[in-house]
Structure 1
């Protein structure tokens, strides 16, 4: 597996990203099938196509304020629009000419991209990276109003997988993981975010 590779659950038109919220935000979003109050439209929100990475971050939906796991299906057009507006959170030499180039772009970025270590289902850090995409105020509105097509509650599934892991049934836990496959990304976007190029 390549180190900087987008892997996701996607089809021809949409891609699934994951987020963890408290009960109030999650319940309102599920009922409305869009993000509504108390979800904030004025704060940056981070979306991740890796379910396992979110499980590491949320401690399998046990961390305070991250007790509900949502699978948000958005348009691939929206996802790629976000990537097209992205600046990395650090001045990586494989993307930017120098630190000054990055500093000129970073303060004005509508979208931030960060590559974090991926984790196994047993919470072991892996060699390859997982992408996080932070949407700023202007892009959050697009995410809510234009990109989101479906919101599903994965909290019960998360609890089930976590229970299997605690009881040593790793194979059963793996069988329940949401699917992921390599996401084909246009060359211009791959260069912009430092991703491994993969086209169908």
Structure 2
């Protein structure tokens, strides 16, 4: 059975929200200024994720070391789609690349990496649907920071509240507080490029 790969996200007509987890030194100035500054690294890839629950599994609900602030980064949809249109998958999907050599050549030059991982449930279990992570390379990171980002939101208090409800077994109440995500529509050529089928 083929994997279901889809982008689920919170978005409106102009912006899509992606999530990251950081420490206080990076998160607080970013939230204040709606852009990143040092000690955020502009020299390595930064991974953005439109799935809130996937990041929750990764950061253990903002309790892992250096991941205690959860930020929602609202970026322009046309920039998001530009990133996807430049993306190269992190593995040589036979339905996307003619052969391993073609993939290797594209991957070596890629400014954007695309990775698919199992989506997560509120309880943290892996789902059959796979969620996207997008790696913005150091060649694009200044542009991402200066031009793509419209707003950076502090999702930490909400995250703590949802996690508290989870711990109490109040999953229905926790679910109501989750960011509303729906399937993100993409042109067919971009879907094909990033392995959505």
Q: TM-score when scaled to structure 1?
A: 0.96
Q: Which residues of 2 match residues 94-173 of structure 1 at below 5 A?
A: 94-173=95-174
- Between stretches 71-80 and 29-38, larger displacement belongs to 29-38
Residue in 2 that maps onto 1:62: 63
Distance 2:83 2:34 in 1: 21
1:126 Cα deviation from its structure 2 partner: 0.4
**1:28–1:37 CA contact under 8 A, matched in 2:** no
Distance 1:195 1:22 in 2: 33
1:56 Cα deviation from its structure 2 partner: 0.3
**1:71–1:154 CA contact under 8 A, matched in 2:** yes
Residue in 1 that maps onto 2:36: 35
Distance 2:161 2:55 in 1: 16
1:132 Cα deviation from its structure 2 partner: 0.1
1:167 Cα deviation from its structure 2 partner: 0.5
1:78 Cα deviation from its structure 2 partner: 0.6
Which portions of structure 1, spanning 4 or more consecutive aligned residues, are displaced by more than 2 angstroms?
none
1:40 Cα deviation from its structure 2 partner: 1.3
Residue in 1 that maps onto 2:175: 174
Residue in 2 that maps onto 1:7: 8
The alignment of Structure 1 onto Structure 2 pairs a total of residues equal to 195
Distance 1:178 1:134 in 2: 22
1:195 Cα deviation from its structure 2 partner: 1.5
**Structure 2 spans left out of the alignment, 5+ residues:** none
1:94 Cα deviation from its structure 2 partner: 1.5
Distance 2:39 2:104 in 1: 33
Residue in 2 that maps onto 1:86: 87
**Structure 1 spans left out of the alignment, 5+ residues:** none
Distance 1:121 1:34 in 2: 29
Distance 1:77 1:8 in 2: 15
- Between stretches 94-103 and 46-55, larger displacement belongs to 94-103
Q: TM-score when scaled to structure 2?
A: 0.97
